[in-house]
Each structure stands twice: as C-alpha cells, then as structure tokens.
Amino acid sequence: MENKQVMIYQTSSEELHLTTCGFEKCSSDHSYGPIVCHYYILHFVLDGQGHFYDNKTHYVINKNQYFLITPGTLVFYRASEENPWTYTWICFNGKAVPDMLRHCHISAESPVQNYSHPDDIRNIIFEMMNYPDETPANECHIQSGLYAIFAKLYESSHASYNALESNDNFYVSQATNYILGNFDPHITVEDIANYLHISRSYLFTLFKKHLNTSPQRFLALSRIRNACELLSNTDLPVSTIANSCGYQDPFAFSRAFKKEMKIAPSDYRQQYNNIRKQSTIHT
C-alpha cells in the first residue's frame, strides 16, 4: 500500500459535499500548518500517535480516535516522533454539516472523539476513491460513502433526534418553515394545515405541545417581525407595509403591532431612525 493516497473530488450537494479524501502513513517529521481551512476535516487515526493544536489547545491523538478541523480555525498538527500516526481523512462542507456533527457529539469546542473501528472508515474511503472520474454515477457512489461514514459515527455516538427533529414534531418543523419562508402575506392557518395534509385541530395540538403557542399566534408574530423589518429598512408607507404583512386594514395592523411591540408602527420607525442617526454620528 502506498504511504499516501489522495482523491480530490468536489461533489455538488448543497447539504453535504465532499472536497477531498485520502490516506497517509506519516513519517516522524510530518506536520501540517499552521493553516486556516475553509472546510471541515475529519481525521481518523488508524495507528500510532500525533499532536493536534487547535486555538492554542494541545491534544495528543492516539489510535482509535478522530479529530475535527472546523472552517476559520487556525490549526497545526504533527506526527509523534516516536510513534508516527497513520490516518485517513475526509474534507467536506454543506448546510447540513453543523447538525450532523452535533449528532456525533463533536464540535470546535470538543474536537476529539473516540472511534473503535477506524478501519471501517478507511475501507469506505478507499471504496470512494475507486470512483475518481466526474460522472453522475460516480458522484452517487461517493455521496453514498460520505453518508455511510456519518452513519457509522451516528451509531458510535448513539445519535438521536431532539424533540424538534422527531417524527412526532415533523409537522411543526415543516409548518414553521412554511410560514417563515412564504412570501404570500395572506396565508392562513387553514392554508398551512392543507399544505401539511393534516387537520387544523391536529396542527393546533402539535404547536401547543412543542412551541407552547398556537399556529395563529405564531403566524401573527411572524407578520409583526416582517413589519419591523420593513419599517426599519424601507420608506414604504405604513398602509403599504400593513398590506404586505397580511393586514388589509391599516388600523387593524396598527392595533396588532402596538399590542405586540408596545409602540405604534410610525413611532417604531422614528425610534429606529433616531438610533441609526446617533450611531452614525458616533462613528
């Protein structure tokens, strides 16, 4: 087996994508950094020992452990002179990565974890490296390997979903995403229930259980938050903002806004402008 093998392959998934992966049997004088990376890296130590320096913290890493490098963090690592390490690694990024790492109980604050079967990870990475050509089929093989690695880590850490991610609360997550990401100012609770294909009463029960509020109130607060953004960052008339936030009657909007914010919309805008002027003067 070669002492070092590397595959550079940028997969296209926005949720989780590979950048590079590889294997290296390090010499006693091997080191890397200091460097600030722009992606996540996991190193799995197959044998030997090494030293990892992360934000001035020194970790001694042994066989059957793995360590995390996070984007924007200054790091340095080197092999032990007496017993240089052999490791395999993956470089990756994506929107889903922070949550995936959280399920593995590894983070920038706690970057080292135990893993008793690093050869399993090595075998998956070697399998991924059998598909270096950029084809749709090969990308699927590589992505499946990347997810297989996280599946192994999830099993090792006994990962479980929290309340907001559980199947029981799947509808709440979908409903809140629908409300916060919907540009239609006139959506109703009925629209949300229809979107999820559940009854209004069941939606109400789930919101009360998991968010301690009703869908109607969550929707109303979302509209008020949108109004605050428009009042702060635009010169649109209050009546236009009211309609943009789902209120056909400007007076009803003013009452609802004042009930939540304890201040009238026009006064809120004036107060924000005064604060902005003062901050400009001081800078």
Same domain, 45 and 122: yes
Which residues, 6+ apart, have CB-to-CB distance to 132 below 8 Å? 7, 9, 138
Tokens of 276: 């902005």
**Residue 56 has what pLDDT?**
76
Q: How far apart are CA 178 and CA 183, in angstroms?
A: 10
Q: Which of 96, 124, 157 is the last residue of a domain?
A: 157
Q: Which of 141, 157, 173 is the last residue of a domain?
A: 157
- Give 25's strand partners: 86
Same domain, 99 and 231: no
Same domain, 180 and 261: yes
**Residue 181 has what pLDDT?**
78
- Of 191, 188, 255, 190, the closest CA to residue 227 belongs to 255
* CATH at 208: 1.10.10.60
| Local confidence pLDDT in tens for the 283 residues of the chain | 679 999 999 999 988 999 999 999 999 999 998 999 899 999 999 999 999 998 779 999 999 999 999 998 899 999 999 999 999 999 999 988 988 898 888 998 899 999 999 999 999 999 999 999 989 999 999 999 999 999 999 998 876 655 555 555 678 888 888 888 777 778 899 999 998 888 999 999 988 888 889 999 999 998 998 888 899 888 899 999 999 888 888 899 999 999 888 899 998 888 877 766 665 555 4
**Residue 275 has what pLDDT?**
64
Amino acid at 85: W
- For 45, what's the count of Cα atoms within 13 Å in the CB-facing half-sphere? 25
Task: Give the chain's domain count.
Answer: 2
Residue 283's SS3 state is coil
Same domain, 153 and 226: no
Q: How far apart are CA 283 and CA 276, in angstroms?
A: 11
- Kindly state the helix (H) or strand (E) to which residue 36 belongs, with its residue range: strand 31-36
- CA separation, residue 205 to residues 80, 208, 213 (Å): 58, 5, 9
**Residue 254 has what pLDDT?**
92
**Residue 159 has what pLDDT?**
63
Q: How far apart are CA 244 and CA 35, in angstroms?
A: 48
* CATH at 62: 2.60.120.280
Domain that holds residue 200: 165-282
